[in-house]
Amino acid sequence: MKIKYLIGLIFVLGSGLQFFRINKSNEIVEEVFDFEKYLDEKNFLKEVELREELKLISAMDTVNTKGVDEKKEFITKFKPQDIKIRVKMLRKGLVDKNIEVVHYSAVEFNQLSEKFEKQLRKYKKLYNKSRIRKDFQSLIGFYGKYLEVGILEGEILKVYREDYIKLLKERILMDDELEDHIKILGMYITLKNYSEVEKRGKKLLKKHINNSRIYEIMAKVYYESDNLEGLKKIYSECLKRDIDNSEVLENIFKICGIEG
């Protein structure tokens, strides 16, 4: 189920780019506000500054509409602070109709990918040699960033997600922080391992009975797996625990017709 918001936007950016096509901008905005993406990243607009989102719309519009020479120059010179925006733009260039644009995008994408791989090997080597906490934290932090930027895909992405889960479990043995449990559940949801999320989520709720974030994860799992009975149980528990400050839960319950 999806709720999409149709928003007409006209942006003028200080970068010198002109007005963007309304329809193209709408498509991008709709993607940003896709309900399922909202469930995955409810803090998306808080974490990414608006000006970076405008740059993304600008990038997409440029790759869609400009000439070959302009596209090539844009691909090589447009390097926003948010790597995720650059990755999205390069992926757009990889499927361009012009072979030169595809070539330039592939070169830039491969360089970016190699840079991340090189940095990851550096963190791994450093930690394997030192085995100190600081280097472990750097390694696991970089893994998380690598997974977020969108460079990886397919089977290799799955492997890296599983590796990240192992690192999080290792850190839990050291500190047992709730945040790491939440990250593990998020990874399992992405991998569609719903049974593992349900098992771990139930255990967490025994220790954190009033934590709305865990209820959100459980509701999301039941929502994605079409488990209406599971959702009803979560709704009952939320009523019992007086958990009513979560927009995520509210949206899921309303969409599934549970909330009366």
- 51 token code pair: 């000006």
pTM, whole model, 2 decimals? 0.73
pLDDT of residue 187: 96
pLDDT of residue 29: 40
Residue whose entry in the numeric block shows the structure tokens 């330039």? 104
Pairwise pLDDT comparison (99 vs 62), residue with the higher score: 99
* pLDDT tens track for 171-190: 999 999 999 999 999 999 99
Cβ-proximal residues to 31 (8 Å cutoff; 6+ apart), any chain:
37
- 35 token code pair: 């309900």
Question: Would the pLDDT of 14 be above 70?
Answer: no
Q: What is the DSSP string of 15-76?
A: TS--PPPHHHHHHHHHHHT-HHHHHH-TTHHHHS-HHHHHHHHHHHHHHHHS-HHHHHHHHH
HSE-CB for 117 with a 13 A CA cutoff? 10
Question: Would the pLDDT of 1 be above 50?
Answer: no
| Residue 210, SS3 per DSSP | coil
- 1 token code pair: 């189920």
From residue 196, alpha-carbon distances to 114, 129, 206 in Å are 33, 33, 16
Write down the domain spans for the chain.
22-112
